[in-house]
Chains A and B, each alone.
Chain A
Amino acid sequence: MAVAPHTEPLKPLRPPRKRRVNESVRTWRWSDRIALVLCWATGIALCLIAGAIVLYMGVKGLQFLKLDMIFSRPQASADQQGSGGFLDPILGTVLLTLIGIVLATPVAVATAIWIVEYGRPSWLARGVESGIEIVAGTPDIVIAIFGLALFQQGLFSPLSFTAEGGAVFGRSFLTAGAMMSLIALPMVFGATREGLQAVPMHLREASYGLGKTKIATIRRVLLPAVKPNISTGAALGMGRIAGDTAIVVVLLGATLRIDPEGSIPGTNVLRGTGGTLTSYVYNNSPAGEGNAEQKAYAAAFVLLLIVIALNFAVDLIARRGAKTGLESTRLGA
């Protein structure tokens, strides 16, 4: 009598344990090993440098920062050491960043869409791309002096105010914001263009196959898919605007307090002059004439915090967008 081979009841199969195949580095050539060490070294060095910068600014900033500085307005005085805080520069930074990015994003996104999706005639498309690259490479001081000369023409007097001598002052939040949007434009444009080019053709073709027009495809399919890219570009742009000093000093008047101009609430601040944290830090550092290093450190610390918060917020948006957007990986997703 044949006996069936004794088999235990089959245990449920466990999924195979994922094991990382760690090939030993000992099998590598020397040049590869050196390259590995270098990669690790640069990665660690980057973290160390960033850590050192943040720590140093943090230590010095906390040493000099008092809470009432953030909420009190700057006082006029011989040097800034004893007096007042920097509430106005903080508000100025926020306002200028908002104006700049609000002006830049629609134009940049529209231009990127036109270049990637349409792009006819092609010489015009190449010209626009080169133009934006040229703007990306222009020093901010050149844009600032161009803006000052441009906005001092009589045509632009509603944007700032007209002095009793009859000449246009040319310096206000609106004029500075307009030039700031020019420097944020290449960032948003570049990021959007990369995102649009990474969208696979089959997504568009599926949409056309369903009968949608090109513009509807752009609105309903492509734009949501590149929203994380637009956010990344906007974050880079906002960072660039928040960190810019030259345009502020030349085009915003660098007054200590926000000086509104005119009597309509809202536009009066836009047409007025003011300062931002960057010009405040610059003026109080040894490079300026404010002679108050402690205030410069405190304001620089606050500026760093604002920039970190900005990045964090945009990172959140990008991550949320990546889940609903394309599968293609994003930095940090």
Chain B
Amino acid sequence: MSRRLRLLGVSAIVAGVAGAAIPATASAVPVITMSGSTSVAPLASLLAKGYLKQYPGRVKFKLAQGGSDVGVADVAAGRVSIGNSSRDAKSSDPGGLVFNKIAKDAICIVTNPNNKLPNLSQSQIQAIFSGQVRNWSDIPGATATGSINLIVRTAASGTQDAFQKIFMGSSNVFSGASAKASNGLVQSTVKSDPNAIGYVSQDFVPGTHAVSYQGVGCTLATAKSGEYGGVRNFWMVTRGHPRPASPLQKFIHWAQVSSRAQKIVATHWVPLK
């Protein structure tokens, strides 16, 4: 066979394989893709694992992260099937989105372990975090002395959004407060600074002292029973309502009502029921 013909044959085979490759990605098993909040991601991966244990081989999951806003934008653009969000729906979100609540999470006010503050009321919290009260000696029950170091979250955080809505109401957080980019950074700062006060998701309390809010301690039990007031929602956002009997709808329905899912959520978060 002539050299040119051989070359044509080789390139035809390569093109054939490449052409077959791309349609072959439509796998037999439907794929549910998720992206979004880093706080919801551990819960989402546990739910995915539990779902596959109960119904093996039914779907495949792909879980990416990036933040609540990335999740919402991805699902609105059609890049993923589910967007995980730790903040509530905003009026500025793209239209046509449905927020499905899957769990709740408590936000705790924390101080350094050497500064065991027993209780704070909402007005006290507002006074502290807006900068009106600046010294620990003005707070009854505080064992620390000196100026109060405020630790808050940065602007794009879902936790900060929830804190503002639930605890601060209409007062604004003091603009000179130290802003941290994640729960872990707030936790490590509060752990090492005796004069610090901040707020974290309930999971990040170990190593710090959680302050009771309006007389109720911040624990998983009180959050589940509904006594603790500072609770925010975790959502799985979809584009429109999922079609009935589609794998997506079955998963979300399972996550919201099945007992196994509730048991998974109850390990570290507050289940819906």
A binds B: yes
Q: Least Cβ distance of B65 to chain A in Å? A: 5
Q: How far is the CB of A12 from chain B (nearest CB, A)?
A: 71
Report the nearest A residue to B39, measured CB to CB: A289
Interface residues of B (CB under 8 A from A): 21-22, 24-25, 27, 30-31, 33, 35, 38-39, 41-43, 45-46, 48-49, 62-66, 77-81, 181-185, 187-188, 203-204, 239, 267-268
A256 CB contacts on chain B under 8 angstroms? 45, 63
Stretch from A37-45, A174-182, A192-200, A262-270 at the B interface: A262-270
- Minimum CB–CB distance from B154 to chain A (whole Å) comes to 12
Query: Quick one: CB contact mask for A261-280 with B, threshold 8 Å, 1 for yes?
Result: 11110010001010000000
Contacts of A291 in B (CB 8 A): 183-184, 187, 203-204
- Nearest-Cβ distance from residue A271 to partner chain B, whole angstroms: 8
Identify the stretch in A53-61, A165-173, A236-244, A311-319 within 8 Å (CB) of chain B at 4 or more residues.
A165-173
Stretch in contact with the other chain, from A97-105, A125-133, A156-164, A322-330 = A156-164
Q: Report yes or no: A286 in contact with B182, Cβ–Cβ below 8 A.
A: yes
**Does A171 contact B46, Cβ atoms closer than 8 Å?**
no
Given A78-B203, A286-B188, A255 contacting B81 (CB threshold 8 A): no
Given A161-B25, A255-B63, A76-B181 contact (CB < 8 Å): no
- Given A286-B184, A287-B185, answer yes or no on A165-B21 (Cβ-Cβ < 8 Å): no
Bound-complex Cα distance A254 to B36 (A): 11
**What chain A residues lie within 8 Å of B33 (beta carbons)?**
163, 169
Q: Complex formed: what's the CA distance from A234 to B20 in Å?
A: 35
Task: Name B34's closest neighbour in chain A (CB-CB).
Answer: A255
Told that A249-B66, A291-B187 touch, could you supply 9 new A-B pairs with CB distance under 8 A?
A: A78-B267, A158-B22, A163-B78, A171-B64, A253-B62, A286-B182, A286-B187, A286-B188, A289-B42
Q: Which of these, A163, A267, A287, contacts B81 with CB under 8 Å?
A: A163
Size band of the interface chain A makes with B = 35 or more
Contact A167 B39 (CB under 8 A): no
Report B27 CB to chain A, min CB distance, Å.
Answer: 7
Q: Which residues on the B side are within 8 Å of A166 (C-beta)?
A: 78
CB contacts (< 8 Å) of B184 on chain A: these are: 285-291
22 A/B residue pairs, CB under 8 Å, sorted by A: A78-B46, A78-B203, A163-B79, A164-B30, A164-B81, A165-B78, A165-B80, A250-B66, A253-B65, A259-B62, A262-B25, A263-B25, A264-B21, A285-B184, A286-B182, A286-B187, A287-B181, A287-B185, A289-B38, A289-B39, A290-B42, A291-B203
Question: With A163-B80, A259-B62 known to touch, is A289 a contact of B181 (CB < 8 Å)?
Answer: no
A152 part of interface (Cβ distance < 8 Å): yes
Chain A residues whose CB sits within 8 angstroms of the CB of B42 once the complex forms: 76-79, 289-290
> Which residues of chain B are near A250, meaning CB under 8 Å?
66
Across-interface contacts of B81 in A (CB, < 8 A) = 163-165
Q: Which residues of A contact B45 (CB under 8 A)?
A: 76-77, 256
A264 to B48, CA, bound (A): 25
Query: Taking the nearest CB of chain B, how far is it from the CB of A53, in angstroms?
Result: 20
How far is B120's CA from A157's CA once the two chains are assembled, in angstroms?
A: 54
CA separation between A158 and B185, bound complex, in Å? 39
Given that A76-B42, A267-B21, A286-B188 are contacting pairs, would A255 and B78 also be in contact in the complex, using a CB cutoff of 8 Å? no
A168 → chain B, closest Cβ, in Å? 7
- What is the bound-complex CA distance between A171 and B66, given in angstroms? 12
Establish whether residues A262 and B64, one from each chain, have CB atoms under 8 Å apart when the complex forms: no
